[in-house]
Amino acid sequence: MEKKERPKIKCLVWDLDNTIWSGVLLEDIEVYLRNDIADTIKEIDSRGILQSIASKNEYDTAMLKLKEFGIDEYFIYPQIGWNPKSASVKSISQAINIGTDTLAFIDDQQFELDEVKFSLPEVLCIDSAKLDGLLGMPELNPRFVTKDSRLRRSMYISDIKRNKVEESFEGTQEEFLKSLNMVFTISPVGDGDLQRAEELTVRTHQLNATGYTYSYEELDSFRKSDKHKLFIASLEDKYGTYGKIGLVLVECQEQVWVLKLLLMSCRVMSRGVGTVMLNHIVRLAKETGVKLRAEFIPTDHNRVMYITYKFSGFKEVEQREDILVFENDFTYIYPFPKYLKVNTIDKL
């Protein structure tokens, strides 16, 4: 059996004592950053890889030390306390909403590495003695570094702010969403979008209706083909941009269109925008006078996409091996949500 390729790392989780700095903070407040560690952290960040902390330490003391070193801003959802490291790593995964198989954990203690390996065998565990080779690891080298990649940490920080506001918001969920002043834009994939489009197919697993991945070259050929439509979506609100967060590929036959790919970033599903791209394609197909079908491959992770199709009026009409085929009969065209503005661009 062919060995399954490990997914690219989306988040690198650091220990602190004798990993980021030399020394044990609880024993001596005068710890020192390891050689070149700040540059390493900044380089990882520039590649669009998120970073966090799993450390057994006093939270306030450790965060003050990271701030003193000028690197506290690089870590989101830091888990600093006395929980097992595996529990901290899992909490980070849940907070970011990514699979644990896309996390790496680096520590100087073999016991801690073994504990995480035992509880979460899918996590890539790295001995901090191998820091010199960290930046060369293929799992930490994405094929492309896109504009969205470079903004990834700041987009997550904005999301943390939104979530805090939501927690204290007095009103309904729809009222909160309306208060965000969201703008959802759908446009054909342009030349400058291709790297991000490939990145979306590679990175998005939970909310990918078929699980298909496409290379830059394949997406470019679809973009230029008169037999396909390839759309990308972006979202922004009053707190900033979410970046390019959705992708749709439609195979256009003479009498029927087939949705070959529908995916949406996990980060935006709580914003009530999951059906917007799909309903746009439904409208286009009806206006063109063709049937609209969609392929769906059920997995353990993409149940939400199944529900998305159902909520948009799709019904199962066929099953081919592991592929379910849906069809929309246009009985009812669902309106876009009232709490956001939708911009649709037909041509670049």
Q: Provide the percentage of residues in the chain whose pLDDT is more than 70.
A: 97
206 pLDDT band (50/70/90 cuts)?
low
Note the pTM of the prediction, 2 decimals.
Answer: 0.85
pLDDT of residue 278: 94
pLDDT of residue 348: 54
The pLDDT of residue 253 is above 70: yes
| Sign of the four-CA dihedral 76, 80, 84, 85 | positive
Residue 320 has pLDDT above 50, yes or no: yes
| Alpha-helix residue ranges (DSSP H) falling in the chain | 37-46, 59-68, 85-96, 110-119, 147-150, 152-168, 173-179, 194-203, 216-224, 276-288, 303-311
Alpha carbon 227 to its chain's center: 29
**pLDDT band at residue 321 using 50, 70 and 90 as cut-offs:** confident
- The yes-or-no verdict on residue 3 having pLDDT over 50 is no
Amino acid at 228: H
Q: What gap in Å lies between CA 212 and CA 251, rounded to an integer?
A: 14
pLDDT category of residue 1 using cuts at 50, 70 and 90: very low
What average pLDDT does this structure show over 67-76?
A: 97
| SS3 of residue 180 by DSSP | coil
Average pLDDT over residues 64-81: 97
> What is the structure's pLDDT at 272?
85
- Regarding beta strands 21-22 and 32-33, do their DSSP bridges make them parallel or antiparallel, or are they unpaired? antiparallel
Q: Is the domain 11-140 a CATH 3.30.160.270 member?
A: no
pLDDT greater at residue 97 or residue 30: 30
User: Where on the phi/psi map is residue 252: left (φ > 0), alpha (ψ -120 to 50), or beta?
Assistant: beta
Query: What average pLDDT does range 40-53 have in this prediction?
Result: 97
SS3 96: helix
Token pair in block for residue 122: 């899918």
Q: Which residues contact 10 (CB under 8 A, 6 or more apart)?
A: 49, 50, 96, 98, 102, 103, 203
Structurally, what CATH architecture does the domain formed by 147-344 represent? Answer: 3-Layer(aba) Sandwich (3.40)
Residues 140/149, Cβ–Cβ less than 8 Å:
no
Structure confidence by residue, pLDDT tens digits, 91-130: 999 999 888 999 999 999 999 999 999 999 999 999 999 9
pLDDT per residue as tens digits for the range 136-188: 999 999 988 888 999 999 999 999 999 999 999 999 999 999 999 999 999 99
The full set of domain ranges for the chain reads 11-140, 147-344
For the stretch 281-293, pLDDT in tens is: 999 999 999 999 9
What mean pLDDT, rounded, does the chain reach?
93
From the DSSP assignment, how many helices (H) and strands (E) are in the chain? 11, 15
